[in-house]
Structure 1
Amino acid sequence: MSTHVRHPIWLPAVPPADARTFASLYSIESCARATIASVIPIQAYEILKNEQTVSILYTIVSLLGLSATLFMPMLIHRFARRWVYTAGALLLAIGSLFFVTHSLPGQIFGMLCRVMGASALSITLNLYIMDHIRKADLMQAESLRMAWSMIAWTTGPTLGIFLYTHYGIYAAHGAVAVFALCLLALFWYYRLGDNPMIVPGKSRPINPLANIGRFVRQPRLRLAWLIAFGRSCYWTTFFVYGPLFMVITGQGKLAGGLLVSAGNAMLFLAIFWGRAGKRYGARNVMTLAFAGMAISLWLAGAIGELVPLATAGLLLVGALFTIALDAIGSTAFMRSVRTYERPQMAAVYRTYLDFSELTPPLVYSVVLAFFGLGSVFATLGCLAAVCGLVTWRYLPKSM
């Protein structure tokens, strides 16, 4: 037996997970999602030939994706986070296969895979962040994550439109599959482990309805959800109706991609918004951000299709303020959620994204039946004003 030597298996050394770890993962994920952010609504418009019908399509897909988000804690409980994250990355790639069919069924299933994949990635990444980042450092870590994703969200939409218009549908959606596989490789390189502290005990219910009830009974979690919902509604409108607005007003598909890219180019300012939140308080900065969003959206709605470039400029101003909420808004949830409830509450919190993709198109489909496209922006401005008032009234100064 003395001759039987077990040689060690050498694995490449991986530094402990920190803010840069999660910023890099989110950046690659953003590349996969941003590349076709402007392509999807334009492709849907080419298939359906009507902006109101496009709104209905987004509503249906978001409603289906919502149920998947609510059941995500069960999947994490059953299969562990690493496998749920892996499935999320694969779903982004699988969605590309459906999109290249350029048919209504393919569009529906492609959008659904995209929504479900984004849900799995978002929930599991937030759990990893709360595992490895101290609460005192969350604001700085989140602003860094947003800033690092700036390149993806700046170049991605224009790159996607360029590939779509010059090289065809396979090039645009093929790029998404490549980014998704790169994300998967990087994730497994980091070898992030599950923290046993946040695995729900066998006696603790993980029923989605029970989780919703528990979430709703906690005022700070409700407020955190509203803040996230308000900012996400802006991005949903910006990504979907921004490119549509540029196409319908005769500015062209490339102009739609450039508009989205220009808005995302300002993500580097997330670091400065994070510093402002630390210096002046999260409540003050978030309230200012919602106020700036509301004013710019009301002006964009008033100008509407009369001066398209001026409306586009006002949408960029609104994006500037929304980035402040991207940088520090999620800290309201991360600082309020209890450790043992993180998987369940993170899944319910994540529904803000599903509702932000579900509610605006549903409301806009009604508004567009009576008014022009500019009414979409004015309607969103009213929501931003309400979110700002609630944030100022109820968000603690110490948050």
Structure 2
Amino acid sequence: MGTHVRHPMWLSAVRPAGARTFASLYATESFARATVSSVIPIQAYEILQNEQTVSILYTVVSLLGLSVTLFMPVLIRRFARRWVYTAGACLLAVGSLFFITHTLFGQMLGMLCRVMGASALSITLNLYIMDHIRKTDFMRSESLRMAWSMVAWTGGPTMGIFLYTHFGIYAAHGAVAIFAFVLLGLFWFYRLSDNPLIAAGKSRAVNPLANIGRFISQPRLRLAWLIAFGRSCFWTTFFVYGPLFMVIAGQGEIAGGLLISAGNALLFMAIFWGKAGKRFGARPTMTLAFIAMAIALFAAGAVGTAAPLLTGGLLLCGAFFTIALDALGSTVFMRSVHSYERPQMAAVYRTYLDFSELTPPMVYSVVLTFFGLGSVFVTLGCLMVVCGIVTWRYVPKSM
């Protein structure tokens, strides 16, 4: 009797995890990341005073973050999911401390903490989702998760820019720390780690290089990675080069924040795209999205700084179709991965985000040597065409 612990009554009243559980966690995490999503590139530009050097900075940070992502299964097996998730939330808060130094070294460390934290949160949350949500419900669950995050990604960037320009660097990054600690409280309230469906992996630990080989050997997983990489490349470009474009085109920092918020306001369309995917099938819906994104990007590149507001509108058009891929794209991975290797394959799959933050700035730093800022959008449009063709060719009709 002496070892028996009585938990408070409200703990036993927590509902089993469902689509809304993960939607609320993701929405809170989105607030922690979205608040400074448009502040960070502007802050980097203030420090470096050159858009090409900003691209190089993002490239270096993404390279460092990639190695952390690949070793995430090792961390999960060593420390358990709940502690990796907790560490991810804490890293977002720690990153804020580095950002407020407003130095190049602090900027790099802050960006690295942000990348590492996002990686830990993304991988562990996806594992929890696959444990609790039935495969047939993935499309609905993912579209709901995107729609709930709409508030964060709509109001966050503008709020961050407002805090940064009116109250200073401490206010903008302090807000991130607050959201990170709210996320921690919510996560532990849900007690996801106590769910009996979640059990430790029975397979032996596999090194990251072997995981990569195993992932590449499965065509469906390669396809899921490419789809996720393509849409994430759009968001990386939109978040980094959208605000930069508005500043360089003379529209100001607030215009950059408003552009990001307007693009994210479209996230409520995730529910519409989820229904469209169920009605018409994932393959034609995702193919349409990629091709429409390409057309919008080519037009944005052609217009460029000649009409900045029109270019911004074309980028928003591209964002509208990208949300279809946010709502439907991850279902290709979730329906294809084997249950016994989810942690290992989820970590490799998550590298799409690292590569999407690494590859575009690296390519753009070369392209910008020869062409103007509009060339960034044209280059991205070419990738969208490739992704659209591959999606139409290889995504099964039954998916």
Deviation (angstroms), 1:200: 2.9
1:277 aligns with 2:291: no
Number of corresponding residues: 396
Match of 1:397 in 2: 397
1:199 aligns with 2:200: yes
Match of 2:350 in 1: 350
- Write out aligned runs for 1:1-399 (5 A): 8-12=6-10, 13-193=13-193, 199-201=200-202, 204-399=204-399
Partners of 1:134 and 1:77 in 2: CA distance: 24
- Aligned partner letter, 1:357: E
Query: C-alpha deviations, 1:302-334, integer Å up to 9, x for none?
Result: 111111111000000000000000001000000
**Identical aligned pairs, as a percentage?**
77
Query: C-alpha deviations, 1:44-75, integer Å up to 9, x for none?
Result: 00000000000000000000000000000000
TM-score by length of 2: 0.97
Query: C-alpha deviations, 1:351-386, integer Å up to 9, x for none?
Result: 000000000000000000000000000000000000
Query: C-alpha deviations, 1:71-103, integer Å up to 9, x for none?
Result: 000000000000000000000000000000000
Q: Provide the alpha-carbon RMSD of the alignment.
A: 1.3
8 Å CA contact 2:36, 2:161 repeated in 1: yes
Deviation (angstroms), 1:9: 3.0
Deviation (angstroms), 1:5: 11
Partners of 2:279 and 2:191 in 1: CA distance: 35
Query: C-alpha deviations, 1:151-184, integer Å up to 9, x for none?
Result: 0000000000000000000000000000000000
TM-score by length of 1: 0.97
8 Å CA contact 2:26, 2:149 repeated in 1: yes
8 Å CA contact 1:59, 1:361 repeated in 2: yes
8 Å CA contact 2:138, 2:331 repeated in 1: yes
Partners of 1:7 and 1:284 in 2: CA distance: 54
| 4+ residue runs over 4 A deviation | 4-7, 194-198
User: Any unmatched runs of 5+ in structure 1?
Assistant: none
Partners of 1:263 and 1:94 in 2: CA distance: 28
Structure 1 residues 255 and 208, CA, compared in 2 at 3 Å: closer, same or farther? same
- Aligned partner letter, 1:200: G
Partners of 2:198 and 2:395 in 1: CA distance: 28
8 Å CA contact 1:199, 1:340 repeated in 2: no
Deviation (angstroms), 1:206: 1.9
User: Any unmatched runs of 5+ in structure 2?
Assistant: none
